[in-house]
């Protein structure tokens, strides 16, 4: 094998090693593993599968601290490499999202001479109505979910160093997480829906969360139709509304069972 191939193979090996070391969480960050459960009221599949997975979780919980300790000598180099934006968490397995996630954009519009032209709004996550079966995850949806995850970590997630950085650095992290999405959707909206003499003078990105009822939990009958009706109003980006009151970052609003948080203003 040529020297260049040897070098490329070594780089790939180091890349995989750094990712692997970075994926091993601290035992303190893992959920506490309780005793084996034997459910009797969730169906025969749950009654048979739950004890098996609970026993497997107990075994892994005993092995994980030893694996974590044995990889600590490599952790400083791994963190240095992964700070370039390559870190992965795969928390959809250990700590999955327990709700539906949405992103809405608010565009305040004015003429080139400064005359107010109202505001428009649209839902950008998910791309497709979530009351329809989605067999695949759109790349744009995945990119937005990654941005939200990075933004949430920078606000205080225990797996990141960001909470211990100065406010200026943390604000730069927040911008790096959400500003590309804000610029992309603003530019797309201006190109597709504005007149030549119009421009967007303020863009707001809101992150929305709606609960998913737990198994066997009581369901609010009207919650889903109300949410669906609200979301449909966001799928008319050409509709103009009066200029909204300017609100500060972190403001929360409720529509049906969705709680919106204002995450970015540009």
Give the model's pLDDT for residue 8: 86
Give the model's pLDDT for residue 164: 46
Give the model's pLDDT for residue 9: 87
Q: Could you tell me if 163 and 156 are in contact, meaning their C-beta atoms sit under 8 angstroms apart?
A: yes
Q: Which H helix or E strand runs over 66?
A: helix 44-71
Give the model's pLDDT for residue 95: 60
Give the model's pLDDT for residue 161: 42
**Could you state, in order of their start, the residue ranges of all structural domains in the chain?**
3-82, 99-265
Give the model's pLDDT for residue 217: 66
Give the model's pLDDT for residue 153: 67
Give the model's pLDDT for residue 139: 80
Partners of 206 in beta bridges:
104, 262
Give the model's pLDDT for residue 159: 45
Give the model's pLDDT for residue 23: 77
Q: Which residues in the chain come in under a pLDDT of 50?
A: 156-164
* Threshold 0.85, pTM exceeds: no
Partners of 63 in beta bridges:
none
Name residue, tokens 């530019």: 187
Q: Could you tell me if 202 and 114 are in contact, meaning their C-beta atoms sit under 8 angstroms apart?
A: no
- Residue 33 in tokens: 């593993």
d(C-alpha 79, C-alpha 217), whole Å: 41
SS3 for 239? Answer: coil
Give the model's pLDDT for residue 87: 61
């Amino acid at each position: 094998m040529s020297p260049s191939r040897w070098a490329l193979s070594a780089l790939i090996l180091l890349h995989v090693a750094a990712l692997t070391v970075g994926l091993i969480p601290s035992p303190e960050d893992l959920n506490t593993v309780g005793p084996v459960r034997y459910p009797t009221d969730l169906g025969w599949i749950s009654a048979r599968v739950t004890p098996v997975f609970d026993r497997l979780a107990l075994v892994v919980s005993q092995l994980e601290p030893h694996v974590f300790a044995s990889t600590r000598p490599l952790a400083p180099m791994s963190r240095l490499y992964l700070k370039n934006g390559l870190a992965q968490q795969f928390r959809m397995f250990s700590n999955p999202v327990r709700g539906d996630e949405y992103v809405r954009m608010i565009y305040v519009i004015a003429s080139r001479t400064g005359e107010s032209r109202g505001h428009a709004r649209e839902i950008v996550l998910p791309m497709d109505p979530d009351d329809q079966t989605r067999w695949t995850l759109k790349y744009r949806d995945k990119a937005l979910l990654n941005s939200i995850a990075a933004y949430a970590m920078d606000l205080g997630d225990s797996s990141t160093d960001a909470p211990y950085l100065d406010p200026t650095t943390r604000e730069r992290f927040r911008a790096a997480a959400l500003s590309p999405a804000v610029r992309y959707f603003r530019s797309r909206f201006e190109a597709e829906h504005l007149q030549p003499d119009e421009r967007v003078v303020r863009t707001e990105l809101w992150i929305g969360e709606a609960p998913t009822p737990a198994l066997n939990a009581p369901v609010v009958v009207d919650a889903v139709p109300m949410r669906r009706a609200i979301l449909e109003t966001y799928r008319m980006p050409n509709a103009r509304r009066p200029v909204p009151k300017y609100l500060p970052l972190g403001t929360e609003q409720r529509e049906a069972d969705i709680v919106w948080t204002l995450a970015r203003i540009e």
